[in-house]
Amino acid sequence: MNRYVIIAAACLLLLPITSFSQTRTRTTSRQKPTSTATATAQQAIAIRNEGAAKIAVQIKNLTAFLYRLGGVAKGLQELDAAAKAANASPTVVQQNEQSKERIKASFTDFRVGLDNLEIYFRSTPGLQSYYLKLAGSAEGAANGEALAGAGQFDRAGRSLLGVVDRLTDTLAIMR
């Protein structure tokens, strides 16, 4: 019987030790934030950067054209005045008319490019908020195209300067 009392006493002494070791709770590691939120933000930044790059290309093209147009427009006006006074040769007058047609075609190309840019901004979800600032740039190019068609190249160039202003304002907001 002494044996049973010793075994029972040993069991009673060891029982609380095993219960303390069981009281510790397990913890799970925290889950990492989902990558969809960061992927969406990165995609929005990529869309905005692509839109800004398209605006920058238009600005570069327009400013280079306007730089060249300044000197050419003055020469065209002088040749027109010489042709009216019958002081210009027929080949010079013909070259002058060809130059005018190329310039008019350039104005048309800018209008089409700006129309496409406005459509791109209006139809791209990440760029629609910038469309309101960009809207009207194609209209300014269309006004320039009409003025160039009427032979008023200086005023047509000034119309395109307004378009460049609108594009740079939009680009400044995007950055």
Instruction: Please give the angle made by the CA atoms of 142, 174 and 162, to the nearest 5 degrees.
Output: 30
Alpha-carbon Rg of the chain, whole angstroms? 37
User: Is the per-residue pLDDT at 1 higher than 60?
Assistant: yes
Domain boundaries, the chain: 42-174
Amino acid occupying residue 102: R
* Spatial CA neighbour of 136 closest among 152, 120, 114: 114
CATH 3.40.50 assigned to 42-174? no
Residue 8 CA, chain-centre distance (Å), reads 82
Q: Which two tokens stand for residue 175?
A: 């950055």
Per-residue pLDDT reduced to its tens digit, 74-111:
888 777 777 777 777 788 778 888 988 999 999 999 99
Q: What is the pLDDT of residue 21?
A: 54
Query: Which of 20-29, 99-108, 111-120, 150-159 has the least mean pLDDT?
Result: 20-29
Beta-carbon neighbour count of residue 101 at 10 Å?
Answer: 10
Please give the C-alpha separations between residue 94 and each of 6, 77, 80, 122, 131, in angstroms, as whole numbers. 125, 14, 11, 42, 42
pTM for the model stands at 0.72
Specify the pLDDT at position 4.
63
Kindly state the average pLDDT of the residues 46-66.
95
Structure tokens at 28: 């799970």
Contact 48, 127 (CB under 8 A): yes
